[in-house]
Amino acid sequence: MRLLKLLPVAAVLVISGCGWWPHGKVSKPAPVSQALVRSLTGIVVYDLPQAVPADAVLEVSLSDVSRQDAPARVIAKERIAPVGASPVDFQLVYDPGDLAQGVDFAVSARLQQGDHLLAINDERVSVLGRSGEQGPVRVRLRAVP
């Protein structure tokens, strides 16, 4: 009878010495959100008549532009400050699940100081989707008069 009481203790000791027990060294898989993200890289170029103010902010966005009767849905955005000299590198991190099939996507950029718009891209830069580049992309800004 005493032997039956010690049997569970002995089993635990044997199992713990077998090497399959994790001992806190189990590597955790990457969270789903990190494992499934992708990025679109590129540069923004501009030639402004004046120097870029120190407090200027460059905002680059990836948007769904497939619906002409509705505002574009922003999928990813990066704000860069301080801006510095042209060209400026950017990286837009997005979830591929946000990209619907058969849809048009575009990258847009704007340079502003507070509420004052200094420059914006005036040509569509199609990316991903049906008719776009996979990256890296080049976005050219034009000064706003």
pLDDT computed for residue 67 by the predictor: 82
- State both tokens at 116: 């004052």
SS3 143: strand
Residues in the chain: 145
pLDDT computed for residue 97 by the predictor: 81
Give the domain 38-143 fold: Immunoglobulin-like (2.60.40)
Taking only the tens place, the pLDDT of each residue in 118-139 is: 999 999 998 987 666 677 899 9
pTM of this structure? 0.71
Q: CB burial class (10 A; 0-12, 13-18, 19+) of residue 57?
A: middle
**HEC assignment per residue over 11-24:** HHHHHHCCCCCCCC
Q: Which of 57, 120, 114 is nearest to 84 (CA)?
A: 57
Look at the block and give the residue holding tokens 């990836």. Answer: 62
Regions in the chain scoring below 50 on pLDDT: 20-29, 32
Distance CA(9)–CA(7), nearest Å, equals 5
